[in-house]
Structure 1
Amino acid sequence: MPDLKTAVIYYSATGSVHALAQAAAQSAEHAGSEVRLRKVRELAPEEAIASNQGWATHAQQTQDLPEASLDDLEWADLLVFGSPTRFGLPAAQLKQFLDTAGPLWGAGKLVNKVATSFTSAATAHGGQETTITAINNVFYHWGCILVPPGYADPIQFQAGNPYGTSHVSDNGQVPPGQVELDAIAFQARRAVEIARAVKTGLASA
């Protein structure tokens, strides 16, 4: 049986972050973790979604994917969060979910969980690093242990973002390529390794 539990929780409009989330989930599973892949609830009105073909198509394709709940946060040893950038910040959909975690935070149930994050932006300087660090600000409040990918693997010298995996989608027209998929796979694998070490260490303390 897997000795570690990982929740990959994300928001994606046109599918880029979803593709990265899937790759993260697969990598965590291959590293021996039990995984829950969860999307957060959509907040945008149907008219807005319908006005963008890529957004509408992705919403239809992922309509049966389970939505994230607070139980997923409490269940997991490792939290992997992904969001597209919105003016250098995570999307409101993910932020709204994070904001509901107050009861778990207040009860100390998020302390010592390992956490890592990733993103996608429409343009090369669309706020990838600030989006990741904005998500990470939540982890500081929760008392989590942050695990960035750094440059701890050769793929990072190609991907180039030590804060977390990021992708440039060219306004949703370009899906993540092999470099980005390999980068998020490494990030998830590294996070599983660290989370397992933390869990083992705490259990024997």
Structure 2
Amino acid sequence: MEPVNLSVIYYSATGTVHALARAVAEGAEKAGARVRVRKVAETAPAEAIGARPEWARHLRDSGDVAEAGHDDLSWADAVLFGTPTRFGSPASQLRAFIDTTGPLWFAGRLADKVYSGFTASNTAHGGQESTLLALANTFYHWGGVIVPPGYTDPVQFKSGNPYGTSHVVGDGVPDEVALQAARYQARRAVDVAALLKAGRRTR
């Protein structure tokens, strides 16, 4: 069976979502997928970044991660998007990338792929669920197949978010529960994408 192609496309200011993206990639690779990890371009002004040392540091530390392009969407059978919450919505940097995808959408090249999302917020009630639901609004327009983790694995009863992996930044760096949840979410996305891919070959 041909492997699933999975893209992890994310924005991370200080490294939390980056860590979750890495765990997503690990889970997908362990499930047998070919994986691309891509960050979206930073659009914040230099003075805003420089005012927060951890933001500037992560920007330097992640300099080797390639930036996302339309080919990463066209190539993929499944795409997991990661973003911090911004007032209960995806970060503007990720939205800026998504807003460039109109030509792919219009040509039908984003339909029938598996999509899922993951996020982080500063506080426990900082908009994690609304951010993931807002991401799903885009997937509906694309005609995507939305695959949330749900409560389909024991780790989800520990992580507590059936919409997608999430982490509270105020609790520190992502712990093993959050990383396990990210790996599981990726494996679930790969499994569903593999079934869809196999089904298309037999039609």
- 8 A Cα contact 1:10 1:39, kept in partner: yes
- 1:61-92 deviation line (CA, Å, top 9, x unaligned): 00121000001000000000000000000000
How many angstroms does 1:134 deviate by?
0.4
Count of equivalent residues: 203
SS at the partner of 2:67?
A: coil
Q: Which residue of 1 aligns with 2:28?
A: 28
Q: Which residue of 1 aligns with 2:55?
A: 55
Distance 1:125 1:14 in 2: 19
How many angstroms does 1:56 deviate by?
0.8
Moved segments of 4+, more than 4 Å: none
SS at the partner of 2:154?
A: coil
Q: Which residue identity lines up with residue 93 of structure 1 in the other structure?
A: Q
Q: Which residue of 2 aligns with 1:133?
A: 133
- 8 A Cα contact 1:8 1:24, kept in partner: yes
Distance 1:61 1:143 in 2: 35
SS at the partner of 1:44?
A: coil
**Structure 1 unaligned blocks of 5 or more:** none
Q: Aligned pair 1:146/2:143, yes or no?
A: no
Distance 2:33 2:64 in 1: 23
Q: 2:174 aligns with which of 176, 180, 185?
A: 176
Distance 1:20 1:38 in 2: 13
How many angstroms does 1:22 deviate by?
0.4
Question: What TM-score comes out, normalization by structure 2 length?
Answer: 0.98
Q: Which residue of 1 aligns with 2:190?
A: 192
Q: Which residue of 2 aligns with 1:113?
A: 113
Distance 1:174 1:153 in 2: 24
Q: Aligned pair 1:18/2:28, yes or no?
A: no
Question: What TM-score comes out, normalization by structure 1 length?
Answer: 0.97
Q: Which residue of 1 aligns with 2:73?
A: 73
- 1:122-176 deviation line (CA, Å, top 9, x unaligned): 0110000000010111000000000000000000000000000010001xx7111
Q: Which residue of 1 aligns with 2:92?
A: 92
Q: Which residue of 1 aligns with 2:202?
A: 204
SS at the partner of 1:155?
A: helix
How many angstroms does 1:47 deviate by?
1.0
Q: Which residue identity lines up with residue 52 of structure 1 in the other structure?
A: R
Identity %: 56
Q: Aligned pair 1:103/2:103, yes or no?
A: yes
